[in-house]
Structure 1
Amino acid sequence: MKILTQLWLLLAFLVGVSIQQCTIEEFQMIAINMINSSKATNVSRTIRITNTYYNCLSLFDTGDHYSSMSVSIIYIRSDDLNNIHEVRYNLQCNNSVWEIVGNQSTVLRNNNTRYCEDCTDQTVNEYHCTVGDARHYYIAFFSNNVPMSHRGQPSIVLMTSEIHPVYYIVEAPGVDYYASNFVTNNTEVILNLTNNNLITSSHDQDKGIHLMINSDRVTVIGQNLRHHSDETFLCLPITSLCVDEYVYYGISVPRGNDTFSSNQNSSILVVGTEDNTLMKLTVTQPVTISVSNCTDDLTTGIQYSYVINRLQTVLIGSVDDLTGTKIVTDKPASVISGHQCAVVPGNVVGCDYIIEQVPPTTLWGRVYYTAPLATRRSYTIKVLAAYNSTVVDIYCNNTRECHNISEGESVNITLSLQEHCVINSSKEVLVVQFSHGWKDDNTDQYGDPMMTLVPATNQYSNKFQFSTLQDQSEDYTHYINIIVLAQYYQPDMIYLISGGLNRSLDTHQWAPFMVNNVTEAYSVQVNISKGVGEVVHSNTTALMSTVVYGFGNRIAYGHPGGNDITVVFAG
């Protein structure tokens, strides 16, 4: 049997060909019945469609063709019935299935070297496409402190608010992981990865994960589950901005005082999204890293330059705090930061894995609100500056303190159960919130450190979709903090959909955020059910934010709610 070496499909407007109007049933039948029966080593097909929903599809073949080759439409999506948004094809090479997604301006291509050699009973997910409304995610997981022999593994959770099924493709070629399927409205798809996906040292450089979802109304959560060491993070879509360079900063915590956590690493993980990406590193602690199989010892305060490729990973680790480590790239990258076993505060018993994906500085904000965490006696916030001479005013329960910090510097503030804080900055900053170790609350080993990004007000929306951590082995209590700006404080118009219930929040106790005796916003803590949910303000112009979190026996997790209307962290 000859090798299928390359397949190109180009969807474009039909030019110079007469087409007739037809029903959608006829449209589907024409596609299903397109079959070629000649043998060849190469296949090249051009599929052309018009921009009218009910116009018929015409197929043009070039070159020789494989035996038993067929193309069929199995899914069509159109928002307004005027333009075909998505056409999903099932290409069958004898018994092998090649799944393809496209639209009118999409090129679908084979991006790797696996081929359908014998056309027998194997399923191959080879094709990746660039679709107008698609979102691309590049992520990776650094390992946590618990041995891999213990229960758990990393996973990715997908959800959508689309009324139509949404197609996704996942590839991690470095560990030979491929998956594709549909995610449907208000349900979860959990993609369980393996321990092979975890990056355990700087020598692991090929474990990047690419996820393409053919919709912008999606939420993606990364989670790394391990016995007594769970954590989650909101995955951010890769966004090309009108900038010459992308600047990121690592964020973590100092070394803990106990013997165990003091040997765990503050970690930063960089994932390339395009080949030949120039990356410049300036670290805050002396580290040894490996890039493209070259090992370097990095000194603080000196900029080092490297070239990385798509799905290549670079792990930066130190037992000391890497907060403020600067990563500059000439193309978009994915930066994931945290700690293998963080102690928060540094003298409190109880360490845990923390991780978040960090947006580039151009997508940071100047105004933030932070609310206390349910059942916890205290919490900590960290404010990280991207520019020199950044003046940060922090108002907690109407009491002000001021800080002047420089590029890469941060300020940490520990707050009590009742303190609601407003952060106003003269320049862009990043804010994260930490829960404390279980000993801080004397709660019989309930809870532990977790880290979550705090959404800036330029990321507020009227609708959020969320998912709690998905761990079948641990008993969690789940919560959501909802913050709404004062001008949109209409609790009877704010609805929480969770656990099969749809309820307004007008009967809950809301707390104000005060600045100079003026109320700027309100917040509420709500206990939620495990699984997928939504928070919706019926005023479509309203501005809110959400943070989802939970606590169990010496474990905790937290992440922002996903925004399924606009790109999260796009300023």
Structure 2
Amino acid sequence: MDGKLVADMFPNWYLAMQQNRVVIDKPTFTSFDPWSSREYRARKDTIPVRDQSSSASTERSASRSPGARGPSRRPESRSPKRRGPRNHAPVRTSASDSNRNPPFKRPWNNQPNVNSSHYGTEFYLGVIPNVVTPNITIDIASEAQGTVQLHVPFLNLNRSERLNKGLTSLTIDHSLVKKGTFTQQRGIWIKTSTLVAVYVTSYVNHSPDTYMALPTISLGKTYMTGSFQPVDSSEKSEIMITSTFANTTIDVSSNGLVHLAEFDVTQIVDSSDLTGTIISATMPVTVISGTSCANIPPNIADCDFIVEQMFPVNAWTNIYIVPPIPPRTGYFARIQAMDEVQVFITNSSQQLYRHMLQKTFEQFQFGSEPTVIYSNGTLNFSVIQYGVGPGFDPQEGGPFMTVILGLKNYISSYIFVISPSYSNFENYLTVIIKASNKTGILLDGQPLPYMYNYTVSKPLDEYVVFVSHISTGFHNLTHIDKLVNFGALLYGFNSGSGYGYPAGMKYPGSDVAPSKTRNVINVTR
């Protein structure tokens, strides 16, 4: 029976089947995303309708004619009928549609859905100020050819380009970046025809960094930010929040309520460290955080830009392995908690215990060894790692900031990009995996050699960390056993500069990775 007829005749059953879908093995992603389809979103007033307004104060018209599609998302040249995979017929727009119940809803309920990861087809991005005017590059990793649409309202930019198999790089004019605290329509929107991974680089000589972007489907409503103390009052700790829906209200613990339209960003800067700022939103948002110029640690002069896209609170876990960053001989880590939680910290040289209070963070310094950070309860927390400045040890390098993956964030296959901007850097790949599985890692189809090898301390002594040199460009990192999950982080150094970011992630409980095969089963939960 046609899937559209099933949805019309048995809406409750069809919605339940969609919610109970479990993806196993390594699924293939298709270009059809029912949760991001504007036709589905516009079918009921209970679903927020995208707004093309250029101002955060503009309200969507309260009246709509029966069967209207709502405002167009953005100029498009395609046919009104949207073709998808089998069993997904184009949505009819008739007067009877407004009475169809229940409507399809995007699963934004603060619960991780089974397909939440860093792979996606729609991304809302932002760029915070670097110490000086940066070169901005969006690098896209894809296993298939297709198309990519780039929309930046502030720059009056709306174009479609070919999506390459491998690496596709897009450049953004630096005039999009603005210093200070403001709310304006400076968001970036990307839509692709196939599942991709996206990485955003702000590059300045001696002050670059990159963040891994999360797709719209993996965004959340609650965040805690990470940054660092700026070098002086002329530099800033920075937060940028990008709205993905019209009529979104955000509550920032340091700045109060802000109302946003789609593509609006609100940027908050301060000469003090904004780490630990709580952000709550009525709809999913993108949160970028960092510092325009930081010395890490503060007594070592370097002035390096750091940035990361924050994971939503519901992507946090309770067990982490923080890897060293050779050839550097030390690093800093911050632990953030939304709830009161007991945290244990252990490595080969020390064992610590911390009773973390609600909505706080603590900073620790570690040496050249992996560190295990965990809690015995069910409460989750976040860990952020900071690379150190060039005077910390005799090795080259500079500060960076990266979100650390918890064990439940690991996946079994990564496609990723190291920006060509880092061609003059020493670039490294860190893999965290059980020792019994380490020989099965393949990089671009070949066994992965490693330069540094570390054993993790108890209670996770079955894990190892190894670090390898890696080139810039597109890469595919897999394991010969498709059921083996492992963590992957990227970082690099040159004289006085550093960068670092995760290669990928998933939500706890999700099982998703790109592949050429797809197996779908329905289960009763």
**8 Å contact 1:228–1:553 — kept in the other structure?**
yes
Q: Secondary structure at the match of 1:179?
A: strand
Q: 1:213 aligns with which of 192, 197, 202?
A: 192
User: Is residue 399 from structure 1 mapped to residue 350 from structure 2 by the alignment?
Assistant: yes
Q: Which moved more, 1:527-536 or 1:174-183?
A: 174-183
**8 Å contact 1:478–1:528 — kept in the other structure?**
yes
CA displacement, residues 474-494 of structure 1 (integer Å, 9 cap, x when unaligned): 6211001100134xx323211
For 1:97 and 1:431, how far apart are their aligned partners in 2? 41
User: Is residue 181 from structure 1 mapped to residue 156 from structure 2 by the alignment?
Assistant: no
Q: Secondary structure at the match of 1:441?
A: coil
User: Is residue 478 from structure 1 mapped to residue 427 from structure 2 by the alignment?
Assistant: yes
| 1:57-456 → structure 2 map (5 Å cutoff) | 98-99=77-78, 102-103=83-84, 104-105=88-89, 135-146=121-132, 148=133, 152-161=134-143, 164-185=144-165, 187-203=166-182, 205-216=184-195, 218-239=196-217, 246-256=221-231, 261-283=232-254, 298=255, 304-387=256-339, 389-397=340-348, 399-417=350-368, 419-425=369-375, 426=377, 427-443=379-395, 446-456=396-406
For 2:450 and 2:128, how far apart are their aligned partners in 1? 42
For 1:507 and 1:324, how far apart are their aligned partners in 2? 36
Distance 1:490 1:194, change over 3 A: same
**8 Å contact 2:249–2:257 — kept in the other structure?**
yes
CA displacement, residues 188-220 of structure 1 (integer Å, 9 cap, x when unaligned): 11101011221322236111011122333x210
Residue in structure 2 matched with residue 492 of structure 1 by the alignment = 439
**8 Å contact 2:186–2:263 — kept in the other structure?**
yes
- Name segments (4+ residues, structure 1) moved above 4 Å: 11-15, 83-86, 99-102, 105-109, 506-509
**8 Å contact 1:268–1:316 — kept in the other structure?**
yes
Q: Following TM superposition, by how much is the alpha carbon of 1:179 offset from its aligned partner in structure 2, in angstroms?
A: 2.7
Distance 1:414 1:526, change over 3 A: same
**8 Å contact 2:230–2:292 — kept in the other structure?**
no
- Code of the residue aligned with 1:279 in structure 2: it is I
**8 Å contact 1:492–1:506 — kept in the other structure?**
no
**8 Å contact 1:154–1:198 — kept in the other structure?**
no
For 2:291 and 2:388, how far apart are their aligned partners in 1? 14
Compute the TM-score of the two structures, normalised by the length of structure 1. Answer: 0.68
**8 Å contact 2:330–2:367 — kept in the other structure?**
yes
**8 Å contact 1:381–1:432 — kept in the other structure?**
yes
User: Is residue 566 from structure 1 mapped to residue 521 from structure 2 by the alignment?
Assistant: no
Residue in structure 1 matched with residue 415 of structure 2 by the alignment = 465
Residue in structure 1 matched with residue 495 of structure 2 by the alignment = 553
Question: What is the percent sequence identity of the aligned residues?
Answer: 22
**8 Å contact 2:149–2:191 — kept in the other structure?**
yes
CA displacement, residues 218-257 of structure 1 (integer Å, 9 cap, x when unaligned): 210011111221110000112278xxx821111111243x
Q: Secondary structure at the match of 2:481?
A: coil
How large is the Cα RMSD of the aligned pairs? Answer: 3.1
CA displacement, residues 101-149 of structure 1 (integer Å, 9 cap, x when unaligned): 742456699xxxxxxxxxxxxxxxxxxxx9x996321111011112x3x
For 2:487 and 2:248, how far apart are their aligned partners in 1? 34
Q: Secondary structure at the match of 2:217?
A: coil
Distance 1:182 1:409, change over 3 A: same
- Code of the residue aligned with 1:254 in structure 2: it is Q
Q: Secondary structure at the match of 2:249?
A: strand
- Code of the residue aligned with 2:123 in structure 1: it is Y
| Structure 1: runs of 5+ lacking an equivalent | 1-10, 16-77, 87-95, 110-129, 284-297, 299-303
Q: Secondary structure at the match of 2:421?
A: coil
Distance 1:219 1:507, change over 3 A: closer
Residue in structure 2 matched with residue 512 of structure 1 by the alignment = 455
For 2:167 and 2:136, how far apart are their aligned partners in 1? 16
Q: Following TM superposition, by how much is the alpha carbon of 1:416 offset from its aligned partner in structure 2, in angstroms?
A: 1.1
Distance 1:508 1:492, change over 3 A: farther
**8 Å contact 2:294–2:305 — kept in the other structure?**
yes
Q: Which moved more, 1:194-203 or 1:474-483?
A: 194-203
**8 Å contact 1:385–1:428 — kept in the other structure?**
yes
Residue in structure 1 matched with residue 58 of structure 2 by the alignment = none
Q: Which moved more, 1:100-109 or 1:223-232?
A: 100-109
Q: Secondary structure at the match of 1:432?
A: strand
For 2:463 and 2:374, how far apart are their aligned partners in 1? 13
**8 Å contact 1:155–1:192 — kept in the other structure?**
yes
For 1:531 and 1:200, how far apart are their aligned partners in 2? 30
**8 Å contact 1:468–1:532 — kept in the other structure?**
yes
- Code of the residue aligned with 1:538 in structure 2: it is I
Distance 1:276 1:416, change over 3 A: same
**8 Å contact 1:385–1:408 — kept in the other structure?**
yes
Distance 1:397 1:378, change over 3 A: same
Q: Following TM superposition, by how much is the alpha carbon of 1:79 offset from its aligned partner in structure 2, in angstroms?
A: 7.3
Compute the TM-score of the two structures, normalised by the length of structure 2. Answer: 0.73
For 1:231 and 1:394, how far apart are their aligned partners in 2? 28
For 1:392 and 1:424, how far apart are their aligned partners in 2? 6
- Code of the residue aligned with 1:160 in structure 2: it is S
Q: Following TM superposition, by how much is the alpha carbon of 1:553 offset from its aligned partner in structure 2, in angstroms?
A: 2.1
For 1:408 and 1:313, how far apart are their aligned partners in 2? 24
Paired residues, number:
418
Distance 1:317 1:375, change over 3 A: same
For 2:294 and 2:363, how far apart are their aligned partners in 1? 15
Distance 1:355 1:14, change over 3 A: same
**8 Å contact 1:199–1:207 — kept in the other structure?**
no
Q: Following TM superposition, by how much is the alpha carbon of 1:276 offset from its aligned partner in structure 2, in angstroms?
A: 0.6
Q: Secondary structure at the match of 1:280?
A: strand
| Structure 2: runs of 5+ lacking an equivalent | 7-26, 34-74, 94-105, 107-114, 515-525
Distance 1:372 1:97, change over 3 A: closer
Structure (1/2) with the larger strand percentage? 1
CA displacement, residues 363-416 of structure 1 (integer Å, 9 cap, x when unaligned): 1111111111121121111111111x2111111126320111123311111111
